[in-house]
Amino acid sequence: MSSASVEEYLEAIYGFNEKGELAKNQDLSEKLRVSPPSVTQMIQRLAEEELVAYEPYKGTQLTGKGMALAQKVVRKHRLLEVFLYDKLKLPREKVHDQACKMEHSLTDETAAALCKALDNPEKCIDDDPIPECSLIVESCDECEHARSKSAEHPLITQLSNLKPGEEGKVAFMRGGRHATQRILDMGLTPGTYFKMVNAAPFHGPVEIEVRGTSLALGRKLASQVYVEVDDKDETWKRPHPHGPHHNIQR
């Protein structure tokens, strides 16, 4: 299970999840151009690595860790699409496949530099939103300073993306002064560790445990809290000496 193969599956699942849908095995089979048994086998392995939550006969949803990884690769892919189409003037029909070939080797540092060069675009050429930068910054100038400290960015996603049982650490908040103050008043300050207790898929409030106390947050407020998820073992990561297979269908 190469890291590129994992990224391709997470990216495909993300495409369904961002629309509020579970990713069904048959749909993944068609999107990735692989056999249904291969999809089933990979989903089982991703579930073992705690990158996805799978419901038999319903579909698959990314866990917090899986979402953080997916957002990283989707962000790189969509930034590359903007670059290839707007700057290099490649034909639209060639942009997606070329971005697929480049996204797995693009470092976090290079992606951040590319974002700044493109003036921080919010959407790709297909009008899909580009996942936000995972650095704790307020501007592109701050981003340049932050990325100079570390070539690889931490795994960060919104609190609302975590599944029951997952743990994380509050990294920062986005969403305005009022929302930030509400979050801080609840005790969710940067550096605070918490555990997700309950979260309905896609909609509804979430319940977390902080310092032995249960807290309930509305889904919108929870989506404004960015958290770092633990992935120290990186058991999903494998070398891919011959490169990935770029066959995702749009």
162 with 212, same domain: the answer is: yes
Helix axes 3-17, 25-32, angle to 10 degrees: 120
Name the domain count of the chain. Answer: 3
Which residue in the block uniquely carries the two structure tokens 């089979």?
29
State residue 3's pLDDT score: 86
State residue 240's pLDDT score: 37
Does residue 13 lie within any of the structural domains? yes
Contact 1, 236 (CB under 8 A): yes
Residue 51 CA to residue 45 CA, distance in Å, equals 9
Coil, strand or helix: which one is 123?
Answer: strand
Q: Supply the CATH number for residue 195's domain.
A: 2.30.30.90
Within 10 A of 193 (CB to CB), how many other CB atoms are there? 14
State residue 233's pLDDT score: 53
State residue 136's pLDDT score: 74
State residue 134's pLDDT score: 82
Domain boundary among the residues 13, 31, 62 is at 62
Domain boundary among the residues 25, 40, 62 is at 62
Does residue 242 lie within any of the structural domains? no
Residue 63 CA to residue 163 CA, distance in Å, equals 6
21 with 75, same domain: the answer is: no
Does residue 43 lie within any of the structural domains? yes
State residue 160's pLDDT score: 95
Torsion angle (degrees, nearest 10) of CA 45, 51, 56, 57: -110
Structural domain of 195: 156-229
183 with 217, same domain: the answer is: yes
97 with 160, same domain: the answer is: no
Does residue 137 lie within any of the structural domains? yes
pTM: 0.86
Domain boundary among the residues 33, 62, 91 is at 62
Does residue 32 lie within any of the structural domains? yes
C-alpha distances in Å from residue 96, one per residue of 76, 128, 166, 195: 12, 13, 33, 37
128 with 77, same domain: the answer is: yes
Does residue 234 lie within any of the structural domains? no
Residue 233 CA to residue 246 CA, distance in Å, equals 26
Residue 167 CA to residue 28 CA, distance in Å, equals 28
160 with 218, same domain: the answer is: yes
Q: Which two tokens stand for residue 178?
A: 């009022």
Q: What is the mean pLDDT of each run of 10 residues along the chain (250 residues)?
A: 87 96 96 95 96 94 96 97 97 96 92 93 96 77 64 84 95 89 93 94 89 93 92 46 44
State residue 149's pLDDT score: 63
143 with 161, same domain: the answer is: no
State residue 244's pLDDT score: 39
Q: Supply the CATH number for residue 98's domain.
A: 1.10.10.10
Does residue 90 lie within any of the structural domains? yes
36 with 91, same domain: the answer is: no
State residue 83's pLDDT score: 98
CA atoms lying within 13 Å on the CB side of residue 33: 6
Does residue 10 lie within any of the structural domains? yes
53 with 97, same domain: the answer is: no
State residue 241's pLDDT score: 33
